[in-house]
Structure 1
Amino acid sequence: MDLRERLADVQRRPHAYGLTTFGEVAAFVTGVDAATEWQFLGGFRQFLADKSHLGPNLAWQVMVIRMAYPAEADEFWVTASHSESMEAISVLFSELQSFLAHRDGPGTN
């Protein structure tokens, strides 16, 4: 199973990987980044900053929470990252797919 297939599987069934919160899924994605010698997420934070207009000074995890819940107060990301937030998890995987398609172009793995 290649990396994109693995991520699609995690997205379909995060509980099978023991992932129940946004924070756990974000940690898993960060682990994938570490396993690829920090190449997997290279440019992801800037991609999110450009798309969301939140600015490049926020961590990508915070940007994803703020994109998932744009009307919430700034402190909401702390609560959302520790709760079972399927919306934030969905936004994370959607943005990862968009980022990888943008970065790698069509048809690349």
Structure 2
Amino acid sequence: MDLRDRLADVRRRPHLYGLTTFGEVAAFVTGVDAASEWRFLEGFREWLAAKSNLGANLAWQVLVTRIAYPGEANDFWVAASHGESNEAVTVLFDELNSFLADREARNTEYPQRG
């Protein structure tokens, strides 16, 4: 099973992987990034920031939460209050899928580090 298939499976059946909250799914995705020597999500934060116009100084987890809840205040506690949100999980997988498809379309797979 390749990485894209694994992520699709996690999206379909998060409980099978022990994931019940946005924070747990975000930690899983961060773990995938770590396992790829930090190449998997390379550019994801910047891509989200440019797409959403929310600011390049925010962590991708905060950007995803703010995209999921655009009408809410930008206070940290508001973002944290949605930690168990299915909406934020859905947005994360949608945005991650779009990001990976965009990167593949541009044929700029994450570069090999020597």
- The CA distance in 1 between the partners of 2:70 and 2:25, in whole Å, is 20
Identity of aligned residues (%): 67
State the Cα RMSD in Å: 1.8
- The CA distance in 1 between the partners of 2:106 and 2:10, in whole Å, is 21
Match of 1:77 among 76, 79, 89: 79
1:9-37 residue CA offsets vs partner (Å, 9 max, x unmatched) = 00011111110000000000000000000
User: Which residue identity is paired with 1:79?
Assistant: S
Aligned residues: 107
1:37-72 residue CA offsets vs partner (Å, 9 max, x unmatched) = 000000000000011000100000000000000111
- The CA distance in 2 between the partners of 1:106 and 1:20, in whole Å, is 33
Show structure 1 runs of 5+ residues with no match: none
- The CA distance in 2 between the partners of 1:5 and 1:62, in whole Å, is 25
Q: Which one has more relative contact order, counting CA pairs under 8 Å at least 6 apart?
A: 1
- Say which is worse superposed, 60-69 or 71-80, in terms of deviation: 71-80
Displaced runs of 4+ in structure 1, greater than 2 A? none
Superposed, 1:50-69 pairs within 5 Å as 50-69=50-69
